[in-house]
Structures are given as C-alpha cells and as structure tokens.
Amino acid sequence: MSVSESESRLYSFSRFLSGICAHLVCAVFTGLMVALARPGSSLFSWHPFLMTLGFSFLMTEAILLLSPHVSPAWRLKHQAKTRLHWALQCLCAMCVLLGLGAIFYNKHLNDKPHFSTWHGLIGLMTVCLFLIQSVGALPLLYHKLAKGWSLAKLKRYHAASGLLTYLMGSVSLLLGMCSIWFTSSVSGYPWYLMAFCPTLAALVVMNQVTNAYMAKKRLQY
C-alpha cells in the first residue's frame, strides 16, 4: 500500500470515527440536559430542554443524515434523505420556537429584562437566522420561487448559511452553559466535558459541509 493510500484510509477512518462520536455526544449531551433541566418541573425548565433537543440533537442529526460517511439513513436514496432532513428541521423549528416562547414568557412573568445578556442576544440572533434559513430553503423545494438561480447555486448558499446557523446555535448553547443556572449545577472538569460535546459536533458538521462544498467547486473547474 502506498503512503498516499494509507494516508487516505487513515483520513477516512478518522472521519468515520469522529462522525460516530458526533452522533454519540449529541445524544449524551441532550440526555444530560434532560436530567439537569427536568422538563416540566418549571416553566423555565422547558427552555434549556427544548433548545438542546432542537439545536444539539435534531439539527445535528438533520445535517449528519446527509453525510456520505456517517448517515444513520445510509440505505435510503438521496430524495428520501432530503425529506427526512426537512422533517427533522421542522421538528427543530417547533422546539426552538417553543423554547424561546418559554423563556420569554418566564421572564415576562418575573418582570425581568429581555435580551440583556450575551446568551440572550446571540440566542435571539440565532433563532432569527434559523427562521430566515428555513424560509430561504423553500426555493430548494419550489424552484419557481427563485427564477434565474441555478439549483446548484441555491444548494451552495443553503449549505453555507446553514453552517453559519449551526455554528451560531453551538455558540448559543455554550453561552447558555455559562449561565448561573447551569454553572451552579455543573462546574470544573464536568463543565469542560459537557462543553466538548457541542464543540466536537460543530467541528464534524463544519468538516462535512466544507468538504461537500469544496468537492462541488473542484468539479466545476
């Protein structure tokens, strides 16, 4: 086996391993957040639970579903995978809107100022970006909505803005983990271990999207 062959095998293996780890850490992270927030124990508890379920679990799975290496639906055809991607993103949108509603109403009931922290501000921007991204994806389903734009170009913009939304979601999650509510229960090494989860998932997603984009660009030359 030549050096470049063994290098590419090693690269494929590490990509596969990191993808599997991304699936695992997202599920574990969401499970830990369920245990910490105990959804239903208070109005606030729905916020970290729904946001984590939406951004960390559903959105990550919706993206990894389209991965050529670690898709849990690898047996399905591309069209079926795309439909599943849409279904998961719709579920994610529901979680995110309900999660935002819960914290907004909770603050209103407690007479607290809105969007007064970095987490609140970046979180609001993330939700807005996610909604714009969802509406902007409609021309991919109904191509007539974007006359003059090629499907390839639309897909590229969708992937790039989707990646930005995902990264903003990861930053919002990490900032949420800096809140007093979270740090009073989790601190020290366990905090860093938990912060590693959305960070690893973000790196894997970034690698998947940039690779797909660069491969397409290379084909055009």
HSE-CB of 109 using CA atoms within 13 angstroms: 9
Which 3-state string (H, E, C) describes 141-165? HCHHHHCCCCHHHHHHHHHHHHHHH
Considering the complex, what minimum distance in angstroms separates the CB of residue 39 from ligand HEM? Answer: 12
Angstrom distances, CA of residue 90 to CA of 93, 96, 118, 186 = 5, 10, 26, 31
Q: Which residues bind ligand HEM (CB under 6 A)?
A: 47-48, 51-52, 55, 100, 103-104, 107, 114-115, 117, 119-120, 123-124, 126-127, 169, 172-173, 176-177, 179, 181-182
Nearest residue to the partner ligand HEM, using Cβ: 123
To ligand HEM, the closest distance from the beta carbon of 205 in angstroms equals 14
Kindly state the DSSP code that residue 77 receives in the 8-state scheme. -
Q: Which is nearer to ligand HEM, 57 or 70 (CB)?
A: 57
- The least CB distance from residue 181 to ligand HEM, in Å, is 4
Of 42 and 179, the one with the shorter C-beta distance to ligand HEM is 179
Judged by beta carbon, residue 19 or residue 120, the one nearer ligand HEM is 120
C-alpha to C-alpha distances, 16 to 56, 69, 83, nearest whole angstrom: 19, 6, 24
Alpha-carbon distance 43 to 107, whole Å?
A: 10
Q: CB 27 → ligand HEM: shortest distance, Å?
A: 15
